Amino acid sequence: MQNVLTDRQLWGEDALAILANLQNWSDAGETSIQIFPDRVVSSSKYDSLPAAQQISARLSSFLKRPPKLRAEYQGAYQASFARAAAFRISGQKLLEDDAFHVVLQREGGDFLKPGIPIRSILDRFGQPEKQTSEVIQADGDRRPVVLTVYWYADGAVKFAQSDLSPAPNTVDRVIVDVTRVAAQLH
pLDDT at 50 (0 to 100): 96
- Going residue by residue through the chain, which has 186 residues, state the pLDDT in tens, using 9 for 90 and above: 888 988 989 999 888 888 888 888 898 889 999 999 999 999 999 999 999 999 999 888 877 777 777 777 776 666 666 777 788 999 999 989 999 999 999 999 999 999 999 999 999 999 999 999 999 998 878 889 999 999 999 999 999 999 999 888 999 999 999 999 988 887
pTM: 0.92
pLDDT at 43 (0 to 100): 94
User: Which strands make up the sheet holding 145-152, listed edge to edge?
Assistant: 88-93, 100-105, 40-42, 32-35, 173-177, 157-162, 145-152, 130-136
pLDDT at 145 (0 to 100): 94
In order of 42, 108, 152, 156, the CA distances from 130 in angstroms are: 23, 33, 8, 12
pLDDT at 6 (0 to 100): 84
What is the residue type of 152? Y
Q: Are 134 and 149 in contact (CB under 8 A)?
A: yes
Residue 154 CB partners (closer than 8 Å, separation 6+): 129, 180
